[in-house]
Amino acid sequence: MAGRTVRVRGLPAELPPDRVADKLTIHFLRSRNGGGDIAEVRVLPGPPPCGLVTFEAPEVAQRILKLKDHVLAIGGMQYPLEVTLHTEELSPDEVPRG
pLDDT per residue as tens, the chain (98 positions)? 568 999 999 999 999 999 999 999 999 999 999 999 999 999 998 788 999 999 999 999 999 999 989 999 998 999 999 999 998 755 445 444 44
Give pTM, 2 decimals: 0.85
> What is the distance between the alpha carbons of residues 67 and 47, in angstroms, rounded to a whole number?
26
